[in-house]
Structure 1
Amino acid sequence: MTRPVLNRIHHAAIICSDYRRSKHFYTDLLGLTILDENYRADRDSYKLDLALPDGGQVELFSMPGAPKRPSFPEAQGLRHLAFSVSDIDQWVAWLTSHSIEVEPIRVDPYTGMRFTFFKDPDDLPLELYEQAAQ
């Protein structure tokens, strides 16, 4: 039997502590497009589906009482969420102009590509990874 192929990452799911603050961050500051937004009364929880230009998605959840991340950044589990960008300098300028701290840009020693990290409102580590536009 031939192994089937994984095509791409469909979505990453994020649980936030302050839904409105995180919604603003991911839509207004990062520019993700809202696909769908639902309030789930039985869970007192929102689910927001956000689209990236390549079809990938981020699901943003509010879950009252969810525990905080146990340690930063090296807890087991998802280490960070990386976004591909074509101009990292432009993104760093945009984020810093909105009072978001961004680490100094580094160069990946294996690929030669530039990258940097910043945090979402719940301190989730996010990465910008510069790649030429496809």
Structure 2
Amino acid sequence: MIPARQNGSSIMPGKINPVIPEVVSQVAYLIIGHDYTITMAAEAGQCEEYIEKSVGISTALCPYIGYAKSAEIAKKSLKTGISVKELVLEECLLKEEELKEILKSEKMTQPMREKVMKAVS
């Protein structure tokens, strides 16, 4: 039996409104909607576009060009509106092939312990 959480109908005394299951359903529908929205954006290529325009990708460059240079590139990108990728190539910090490999979304979401440890030491 469902515990009484909210009064039922005035016409039907003793009725229990199933508020908890209804709320759980609403939350589930919201999560499904968010998931679907992200899926559609990914299929349309919007996620890749956001990544390429993001100054945050400079973080992925730290193990390769160092923190100071990555921070400098990020600041310059914000100031000028030129993408991080363009600035890295413009300043000849990395070759285009290297940069593409480093900025692959699959690679950026996997741990890079060895490279980070080299950069720190």
TM bucket by the smaller chain?
A: under 0.3
Q: TM-score, normalised by structure 1?
A: 0.21
Structure in which a larger fraction of residues adopt strand: 1
Higher relative contact order (CA 8 A, sep 6+): 1
Higher helix share: 2
Choose 1 or 2 for highest CA Rg. 2
